[in-house]
A and B are shown apart, each in its own frame.
Chain A
Amino acid sequence: MNRTIQFAKRNIIELSRDVLGYIFCIAFPILMLIVMSVVNESIPKEAGMHIFRIDYLSGGIIVFGQTFVMLFTAILVATDRSTSFLMRLFSSPMKSSDYTNGYILPMLLVGVIQSIVTVLASCVIAGITGTELKVAGLLLVILFSIPSALMFLSIGLIFGSLFNEKSAPGVCSVIISVGTFLGGIFFDAEGVGGPILKICKCLPFLYCTKVARSTIQMDFQWESFGKPLLIVSLTALALVCLAILTFRSKMKADQ
């Protein structure tokens, strides 16, 4: 456990010194939150569009931010693999669980911090626009967005293990685009319906958004919260296992 903590500490320092991390993981989601709130203010009330209303939007933005956690996990792992730093560690008494936990824990922390910042920014925007937000929902979303954060960082761990530092960000950007679009973050997937909704329902991203949105609105029904949470949690569990297996097998192959 001590070695896991040491490695996690090192990864936190690495991340905290990367300016791009602050820009993409914190500033960019907040910027999107502000821009979309401005867009919402420009939409006439008669249109009946609520997708950009802060109580809907903030859940989606939490998930949007998590896609960048995936990107930075992939970059960190891929960069470590490309330098001989990991090679030196492979010759140390560290166990494979020390590596995977040492990557997962700090990135999960980043995900939680990101959710807190998004929630705080949402409160400010809600105050300005006069939208009502439920405090309990805002607090609970920090907890219930953990499975989706775990899911995204596991994807990052898999890509970082499989691809090099140049190709991993490219592959991640595909997932960011697909996840944002098919996750219904900036459009109402259920309102659109048809084949798009069918595709959205085949992927886990829409369920991540639904969990976050429902939690913020304190809507804990099975269809809107329970079922999506179960799907996201099971997907996260499967992806964590896959990420651990992928990292271990690449660790052996790299040697």
Chain B
Amino acid sequence: MFGLLKGLGITLKNMAKPKVTYKYPHEPLKMPDRFRGIQHFDPEKCIVCNQCARICPTDCISLTGKKHPDPGKKGKIIDTYDINFEICILCDLCTEVCPTEAIIMTNNFELATYSRDQLFKNIDWLHENDQNIRQDNVSMKPKPGGSKA
């Protein structure tokens, strides 16, 4: 008998507790910092070592380099860099293997589109995807006001 009243008491108290639901499509969801979201790519840092393309388990990364425009410098600079998000599994291996952190993870995850073609992201799109970058990598980026740490 008292169990019934106790149950009613619990539910009544629950009404005043904070809500656990998100207003998701109206307010963006905050993901934990180690979330594996859509990659951000920084062409300035890329040394065209091809390691990301080689480690990629689904072969979704394709890149090409070109000779450095300054003839006095050795090495290559990046020309095209594409990730096919039809098959990318967001496994984080490309960002782990990158020696210069040219490709890093963000917390963005909204990839839904009406056409499959739109899932093929190029270098410019990946570069502009610069919001919600993983905090570990943000510290590596040059700070606007110079290094304070």
A binds B: no
